[in-house]
Amino acid sequence: MMAISDEPLQSEKASSPTQSSDSDMGEPDRANLDDAKPSPQDTLTWKGELQIFLSTFLTIFLAEVGDKTQLTVFLMSAESGSPWTIFLGAGSALIATSLCGILLGRWLSQHVSPKLLERFAAVLLLAIATVLLLDVWQG
C-alpha cells in the first residue's frame, strides 16, 4: 500500500523509456504488446496521471454515493456505536477489493491484446452505466 502510494513521486523517472525495466507496474510487458506505435507510457506526464486519477475518483465516488455499501457502513456504525472501528474495517476492505480488481485488470492487460481489451473495458463501463441508470429509473 505504502509502496504504491509513494509511486506518483517517481512518475517522471518511470516515464523514461530506458528505465521502464525497473518499474513494477507491468509496463515492460505492455510496451511489448504495442511497440508498433509510440508507447503511451513513455509520454504520460504527471498531468496525464492526475487527469486519470481525477476522472476515476469522481466517477467511482459519484457511483458509490448512496450505494448499498455506504448504507451498510452507516447502519453498522450506528448499531455498534464505534464508527471509527467500522470505518477502519470498511475502508481497508474497500482498498482491498479495488486492489484485487485493478490487479486482475493489469493481469488481463498483459495477456490480452490492447485493442480487444479496450473494447472489453468499454463494454464493462457501459454495463455499469446501465446498472446506474436502472437505479435512477427505479428511484
Partner 1 sequence: MIDLVHLIDLKLLALAFVTVFVSELGDKSQIAAIALGCSTKSVRAVFLGTALALVLASFIGVWIGGGMGYLLPTRWVKAIAAVGFIIMAVRLLLEANEDDEDNATDMPETSNS
Interface positions, 115-134, toward partner 1 (CB under 8 A): 115, 117-133
Answer for which of 17, 25, 28, 35 binds partner 1 (CB under 8 A) is: 25
Count the residues of the shown chain that bind partner 1, applying the rule CB under 8 A. 94
CB of 3 or CB of 18, closer to partner 1: 3
Under 8 Å between Cβ of 25 and 106: yes
Matching residue, cell 512518475:
11
Q: Does 31 bind partner 1 (CB under 8 A)?
A: no
Distance separating alpha carbons of residues 11 and 48, to the nearest angstrom: 11
Tally of residues, the chain: 139
Q: Does 32 bind partner 1 (CB under 8 A)?
A: no
Q: Does 59 bind partner 1 (CB under 8 A)?
A: yes
Side chain identity at 74, as an amino acid letter? F
Matching residue, cell 517522471:
12
Side chain identity at 49, as an amino acid letter? E
Distance separating alpha carbons of residues 40 and 34, to the nearest angstrom: 9
List the grid coordinates of 128: 455499469
As measured in angstroms, the least distance from the Cβ of 18 to partner 1 is 18
Q: Does 35 bind partner 1 (CB under 8 A)?
A: no
Contacts with partner 1 in 62-81 (CB under 8 A)? 62-78, 80
Answer for which of 13, 22, 32, 112 binds partner 1 (CB under 8 A) is: 112
CB of 18 or CB of 66, closer to partner 1: 66
Distance separating alpha carbons of residues 13 and 11, to the nearest angstrom: 5
